[in-house]
Amino acid sequence: MFELTPWRPFGELRTLRREMDKLWEEFFGNQQLTSSETAWMPAIDISETKDAIVVRAEVPGMKAEDIEINLTGDILTIKGEKKHESEEKDENFHRIETRYGAFQRVIRVPVTVDSNKIQAKYEKGILKVTLPKREEAKPKQIEVKVE
């Protein structure tokens, strides 16, 4: 008897991709291939306390003056450029995994903040932006009365 198997073109593309990856690994050894042109984006963490929204961004090796922070409405923008500074003229690199270049992270702030009290601190490669909530955005405790 004959058994019909449906044709799945995307499955065949995945198989082709795996085979090509395997070919590259065999050719170059077991090292990851990364493009130096890949865009660099700092990792960010966003947390909320009862009084503020806190955004932390990993931007190691940058100078504070190379980072720009803007708040327009409810959109926080963090942008900057991590520059490659090479001192050694006779240095031949075998591998470069550090990412350089311009970046921009755009974050929608979920509550209304007091833009006059925003603070930004940069310490040990971590940028910390504290966006204090306005009074109307803070949670209010409502007392339940017993009658």
In this prediction, what percent of the chain has a pLDDT beyond 90? 37
Domains of the chain: 44-84+100-136 (2.60.40.790)
CA angle 103/131/62 to nearest 5° reads: 30
Strands 52-58 vs 126-132: parallel, antiparallel or unpaired? antiparallel
- pLDDT score recorded for residue 37: 47
CA-to-CA distance for 18 and 101, rounded, in angstroms? 30
pTM comes to 0.64
Residue 89 pLDDT greater than 90, yes or no: no
Instruction: Work out the number of other CB atoms within 10 angstroms of the CB of residue 52.
Output: 21
Return the structure tokens found at 51.
């009084």
Beta strands at 101-108 and 75-82: parallel, antiparallel or unpaired: antiparallel
Mean pLDDT on 46-75? 92
Predicted confidence at residue 52, as pLDDT, reads 93
- Determine the average pLDDT of the residues in 111-119: 92
Instruction: Tell whether the model's pLDDT for residue 36 goes beyond 50.
Output: no
Where residue 35 falls among pLDDT bands split at 50, 70, 90? very low
Q: Which segment of 27-31, 45-49, 132-136 scores lowest on mean pLDDT?
A: 27-31
